[in-house]
Amino acid sequence: MENTEHAYLSKLYTQVRKVNQEKEKQSSKLRLLKNIEKKFKTAMIGTLARCEDKFGFLWGNGSDKQLTKEQRQFLELWQDLRIDILNHCNSQSRAALEEMSEYTISWNKYVTNFIIKK
């Protein structure tokens, strides 16, 4: 009786362990996808902000004055370019995340190795 109970508990333990490992794999994958998506968005928005900082004077960025005809033209160009950049980056981000979803991913987590000296 004790032997069959031990075998049953051992089998149950193995099943639970497999389920937990699968959950951890899914959690690792979601964590990585979320972090990669955040980095794509940060890079995209940061790049646009730097462009606005360097070239914003062309369309009166940060100015309270009424825009000149030339500034309105530059603003329209900038808005079109900004939309194109956002659409392209979002498309590439989605493609990268979709491709990554085809892989098996596991997070190695943080590992601390202790050096034992005699």
- pLDDT > 90 fraction of the chain, expressed in percent and rounded: 58
pLDDT digits (tens, 9 = 90+) for 52-105: 999 999 999 988 899 999 999 999 999 999 999 999 999 999 999 999 888 887
SS3 labels along the chain:
CHHHHHHHHHHHHHHHHHHHHHHHHHHHHHHHHHHHHHHHHHHHHHHHHHHHHHHHHHHCCCCCCCCCHHHHHHHHHHHHHHHHHHHHHHHHHHHHHHHHCCCCCCCCCCCCCCCCCC
* Whether residue 15 has pLDDT greater than 70: yes
Band (1; pLDDT cuts 50, 70, 90): low
Which residue ranges make up each domain of the chain? 29-100
